[in-house]
Structure 1
Amino acid sequence: MTTDHQTPLAGSRHARDCDARHRRQPLSVSSRLPVGALLLIAAPLLYVAAEAVAAAAWTNPPYNYVYDYVSNLGVPGPRSEAFGQIQHSPLAVVMNAGFITYGLLIVAAAAFLLRARCGRGALTLMGVAVAFGLGAVLLGFFPGSRAAVEDGRIVFHTLGAR
């Protein structure tokens, strides 16, 4: 059994797979890590920027960061009420693009950062990153609107939000 910082047992299938994977990699570890780090920093910055732009466009009534759900920013018109809140984001497309981009960048960052690693820890972290990223992508594709509740798509939004 190996840990994240140990080399797999010599001659094991895992060792051969890991060694073969490392020989095929076009980017060196030293060039992958900065790319992964930049993606990991860019992801939340782009998300917050998308949220700020979408929130600023919501003027009647103004978006309230304390009261309103962030998911409301991704709900396009017509104006409706759901979950006790008004929903109609003038720039829903910006917020939904922010959710999707955030999720994809998190997965890409994890792939760059973890590609040099072998073992269960790296696989577990990659699985967590994929689940997290997929959740954000689901939020972007399935806004949490009244229509989504009525036609059953809310299941995908709820799954993404969890």
Structure 2
Amino acid sequence: MHISSEEQKTSSKGQKTGALCFAAGGLIYLLAEKISASGWRSPAYSYLHNYISDLGIASCGATPDGRDICSPLHNVMNAGFAAEGVLFFLACWLLRPVFKGQGERAFVFFGLLHGSGGVMIAAFHSGGGTGGITVHQTGAVLAIAGGNLCLLSAGWIKRQHDGWRGFSLLSLILGSLGLISMVTISFDVLPVGIIERLSVYTITGWQIGTGLWLRMQTRT
């Protein structure tokens, strides 16, 4: 089948945009986390002992497990959750030509789960007065599990492609680490802030690295 130069340009533009969405989503998320954490005064936010979702809680006070919460810049974090989720799914959709093959549908589907989870986390705050804690927890599972499964599917798709072996191996390792960390959050193996970030930063680091790498590939 003949592909016109115009179709090739359109496909290339979509891939460039998808790569930028991956990188931008991860960077926006990290920036929102840093800004909202800096707004805490009494108490100070702890990357070691506080959950990430604590940054998005709209009300101040003690949580049921006794943690003192007050996040003045909660809107920044919730905007970051939502923006990252939307950009992540958009990237997966636009990068379908790159991740074409066995597992392509899983790649897009898990990207959708991750994106939907991010929006749910932003809309329903953990421990807030909205009555949406169950919805929040569901969103967190979708975001973390969906994101790490997306990494695994990306690694699986590219496992036998020349020039992609390192990417495939790293994707499979990070996705597995993220899922294992998610499962062990409730076992108190490490402080909650550390173990939760091990399950989330695998996704964040991967999407930033993948986005920048794909952007460089399209430029060359």
Same fold (TM over 0.5): yes
What value does the CA root-mean-square deviation take over the aligned residues? 2.1
Displacement after TM superposition at 1:117 (Å): 6.2
**Counterpart of 2:45 in 1: which secondary structure?**
coil
Q: Distance in 1 between matches of 2:68 and 2:86?
A: 29
Displacement after TM superposition at 1:28 (Å): 1.9
When the two structures are superposed, what TM-score results if normalisation uses the length of structure 2? 0.57
Larger helix fraction of residues: 2
* Structure 2 residue aligned with 1:155: 134
When the two structures are superposed, what TM-score results if normalisation uses the length of structure 1? 0.76
Deviation sequence 1:60-104 (CA, Å, 0-9, x none):
111000011110100012433333311221000000000000100
Count of residue correspondences: 136
* Structure 1 residue aligned with 2:30: 48
Q: Distance in 1 between matches of 2:133 and 2:100?
A: 37
Determine whether 1:58 maps to 2:37: no
Q: Verify the 8 A CA contact 2:32 2:80 in the aligned structure 1.
A: yes
Partner amino acid, structure 1, of 2:52: V
Long gaps (5+) in structure 2: 2-6, 142-220
Q: Which structure 2 residues correspond to residues 81-92 of structure 1 after superposition, within 5 A?
A: 81-92=63-74
Long gaps (5+) in structure 1: 1-18, 20-24
* Structure 2 residue aligned with 1:135: 117
Partner amino acid, structure 2, of 1:128: F
Q: Distance in 1 between matches of 2:123 and 2:9?
A: 32
What percentage of aligned pairs have identical amino acids?
31
Q: Specify the structure having the higher radius of gyration (Cα).
A: 1
Runs of 4+ more than 3 Å apart:
115-120
